[in-house]
């Protein structure tokens, strides 16, 4: 009886792209968290209601950072201005948009201690969400490895090697999450 075998490494390698997506998503989410410096990522994905349709701000205007604490938004059409200002007022970045002729300015005030604590709480939440997703993928891969062993397609010693390699992979991605969080924490505290 020649039974098809499964290599536990294939199962582990199958989840690696998913774990990369978790890290990419976390990086994008952390870029949206305001620090002491202005960044286009604070506003570029703000959804603007324009003529009954929703668009990310980056599709309606040029966004620039002329100074460390200033964001300039230059709409490509004057008719977008009211919708952009309305959307920016709802973002909660801690600064109000100011219309200056055809350009919208946002001057970021210094972060106060209470707002920093809120940002750190948000950072921690984003990191934990990423860790939960990583754990979910680990569980899925481990279940698949165990199923393979129960079905006789993975040897028992390979099952335990797979468990160790899976944990190494998870540790590697958890370290990436930790490093991203630490870097963002330093930006918030500056």
Under CATH, what is the fold of the domain 40-107? Gyrase A; domain 2 (3.30.1360)
Q: Which residues of 97-114 are buried (b: 16+ CB within 10 A; e: fewer)?
A: beeeeeebebebeebeee
Distance CA 188, CA 122 (A): 11
81-85, 94-98, 117-121, 140-144 — which is least confidently predicted?
94-98
As a whole number of Å, the end-to-end CA separation of the chain is 66
* CA-closest candidate to residue 57, choices 68, 70, 71, 69: 71
Give me the CATH code for the 8-32+112-189 domain, please: 1.10.132.20
The ranges assigned to domains in the chain are 8-32+112-189, 40-107
Q: Does residue 118 surpass a pLDDT of 70?
A: yes
Which percentage of the chain shows pLDDT scores above 90?
33
The pLDDT assigned to 165 comes to 93
Taking only the tens place, the pLDDT of each residue in 152-178 is: 888 888 888 999 999 999 999 999 999
Taking only the tens place, the pLDDT of each residue in 6-29 is: 788 898 999 999 999 999 999 988
What pTM was computed for the model? 0.73
């Amino acid at each position: 009886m020649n039974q098809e075998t499964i290599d536990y490494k294939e199962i582990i390698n199958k989840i690696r792209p998913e774990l990369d997506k978790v890290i990419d998503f976390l990086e994008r989410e952390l870029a949206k968290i305001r620090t002491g410096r202005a960044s286009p990522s604070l506003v570029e994905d703000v959804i603007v209601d324009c003529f009954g349709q929703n668009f990310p701000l980056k599709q309606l205007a040029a966004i620039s950072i002329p100074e460390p604490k200033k964001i300039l938004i230059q709409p490509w059409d004057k008719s977008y201005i009211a919708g952009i200002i309305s959307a920016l007022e709802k973002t909660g970045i801690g600064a109000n948009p100011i219309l200056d002729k055809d350009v919208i300015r946002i001057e970021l005030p210094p972060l106060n201690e209470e707002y920093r604590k809120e940002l750190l709480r948000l950072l921690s939440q984003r990191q934990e969400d990423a860790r939960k997703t990583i754990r979910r993928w680990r569980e899925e891969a481990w279940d698949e490895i165990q199923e393979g062993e129960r079905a006789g397609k993975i040897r028992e010693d390979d099952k335990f090697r797979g468990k160790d390699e899976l944990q190494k992979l998870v540790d590697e991605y958890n370290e990436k999450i930790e490093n991203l969080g630490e870097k963002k924490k330093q930006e918030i505290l500056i």
